Amino acid sequence: MANNINISEALSVGKEELIKLVKSIIAELRPSMSLEDLQRVYTKSIDTAILKEEASTNCKYIGGEFNIENVNNDQYYSCGYRLYFQGAQKKIFELAAQSKDLPVYNLSDSLRKQLSAEKIIKFEIPEPSEKAREKFERENPKVQ
């Protein structure tokens, strides 16, 4: 029996999950965070979001981008995600979320300077590691 998945509904659920992830990441922000610290904070949560989306929609994660953007003349910054999935017939779907504006005092001096100079910092979001996939599968057995 084939799974009938309404991609539009599934992606709407995915967007809500992504918004929850952004909020949970914001809650973990601490003063003087470096770019590497921010990457560590987001990795586990975003891996879970990717794996959940793949499992619930049968779409394949094909790439994504994380950005940190300078907002309001170096007073604030925001973080955002764009995740891309490929579904049936090679159709591409995007899930995206952006945080609220956050005070720059959470960032290290070097990251604040980099963000002030570059205005936006982007980096790719790789596929979840095999270890993350295995853990997800153990914790979320497929219903047969």
Query: Would you state the pLDDT for residue 121?
Result: 93
Contacts with 36 (C-beta within 8 Å, 6 or more apart), sequence order: none
**Is the pLDDT score of 70 beyond 50?**
yes
Q: pLDDT tens digit string along 85-135? A: 998 888 998 888 888 888 888 889 999 999 999 999 998 999 999 998 999
Establish if 138 belongs to a structural domain: no
Query: Would you state the pLDDT for residue 9?
Result: 44
> 21 is in which domain, residue-wise?
7-133
Establish if 37 belongs to a structural domain: yes
Establish if 143 belongs to a structural domain: no
Establish if 96 belongs to a structural domain: yes
The mean pLDDT of 63-88, rounded to a whole number, is 90
DSSP string, 68-109: EEEETTTTEEEEEEEEEEE-GGG-EEEEEEEPPPEEGGGB-H
Query: Would you state the pLDDT for residue 4?
Result: 36
Give the number of domains in the chain.
Answer: 1
Q: pLDDT tens digit string along 23-33? A: 666 666 666 78
Establish if 140 belongs to a structural domain: no
Establish if 142 belongs to a structural domain: no
Establish if 141 belongs to a structural domain: no
Establish if 144 belongs to a structural domain: no
Query: Would you state the pLDDT for residue 143?
Result: 45
Long-range contacts formed by 37-42: CB under 8 A, 24+ apart? 37/108, 38/68, 38/79, 38/111, 39/66, 39/123, 42/66, 42/79, 42/81
DSSP 8-state assignment for residue 128: P
Q: Mean pLDDT for the chain? A: 80
The model's confidence at residue 19, banded by pLDDT at 50, 70 and 90, is low
